[in-house]
Amino acid sequence: MRPLTRISRPAAVMLSLAVALGALTGCGQSTQETGAQPTASGKPVPGSNVSLNGAGATFPYPIYSKWFSEFNKLTGAKVNYQSIGSGGGIKQITEKTVDFGASDAPLKDEQIKAAPGILHIPTVLGAVVIGYNLQGVSDLKLNPEVLSGIYLGEIKKWNDPKLAALNPGTQLPATDINVAYRSDGSGTTSVFTDYLSKISPAWKDKVGSGTSVKWPAGVGGKGSEGVAGLLKQTPGTIGYVEVAYAEQNKLPYAQLQNKAGNYVKPSLENISAAAAGAIKDMPADYRVSITNADGPNTYPIAAFTYLLVYADQADQAKGEAIANLLWWAIHDGQKLAPTLLYAPLPAELVSKVEATVKSIKHNGQPLLK
């Protein structure tokens, strides 16, 4: 499987614009004539001056920023999104202070009880990588024992014998390992700690998983931006971030040993492979973990990310905009995902999500026309 290649920002922007322009080509009548902008998926997106407010996960922020900008160009609908972390997004959508939330961590049963009628809409697949700042080291290997040992605070030096054994021929410094983690409630943290809980009984027993945990070692950074900043600024640091943040900040990240024993970096193919086994048994609410999945080349720390909306929309105009935004995202929006290092949803999952989006209503009436 090929590793994710670094795409220059200008190239990514040009490719994204080309896709958007392609969606506008050959539409027949103009927006001014019809009042709607057709999309490649065949669903019209009504022109609208409505504004939507959302908040939550930093993990998908690069793709969401692009999506919301393109959707605005197509429809006139304004989408304001604050990347405050999944914990904040869950809190705000539960309290209905935003029109939609975003989380990489599926809501737990007790959270769903506090937000009756909430829907999980999977949008893309992403990967969490282990970035590091070590001068002269461009290719680092980590296995489950060593990675969990570092975050448990048991492996403290870069030249620890266990680390050195995984990286023969690499000059690892005799310096302290500075551990970085997310200080805010974070879906990225939930994904990472879910993985650690699967591969390390000690981690599961002592720390566990969740959007926020009591870290045994290290220093916190707010948001993926904060952890990326710690990695860039502090030599000897190790930290977990979404792959797009590592690429954008030109941070090296480790090869991880997967469940099959192979060392891999994330690629569009091996991130998608992590979801393959979950598709046939996907629960109706899409709440599923795909970390440490089976497969010879599967990347071990992969996840779906979700938009959170209510099935019953109180405001018809906003509800119509949300339904159309979701429909556009799971169809036309998927074309933009690879340019920003996210894997598109598998086709067989899209057909299931379509039915969920069509179930969004206002006063009992479907909002997607």
Nearest to 7 by CA among 269, 345, 271, 268: 268
Q: What is the pLDDT of residue 41?
A: 55
CA-CA distances (angstroms) from residue 366 to 15, 76, 314, 353? 34, 22, 13, 15
Q: Which residue has the tokens 């970390």?
A: 291
Return the bridge partners of 142, or none: 256
Q: What is the rounded CA–CA span in Å between residue 120 and residue 93?
A: 12
Q: What is the mean pLDDT of the chain?
A: 88
Token pair listed for 366? 């479907």
> Of 353, 265, 229, which Cα lies nearest the Cα of 3?
265
Question: pLDDT by residue (tens digit) across 238-267?
Answer: 999 999 889 989 999 999 999 999 999 999
In 3-state terms, the chain is what percent helix, strand and coil (to 5)?
40, 20, 40
The pTM is what? 0.84
Alpha-carbon Rg for the chain in angstroms: 21
Q: Are 90 and 110 in contact (CB under 8 A)?
A: no
**pLDDT tens, residue by residue, 129-156:** 999 999 999 999 999 999 999 999 999 9
Residues whose CB is less than 8 angstroms from the CB of residue 314 and which lie 6 or more positions away in sequence, other chains included: 362
- Stretches in the chain below the pLDDT threshold 50: 1-38, 40, 44
Cα torsion angle, 273, 194, 191, 144, sign: negative
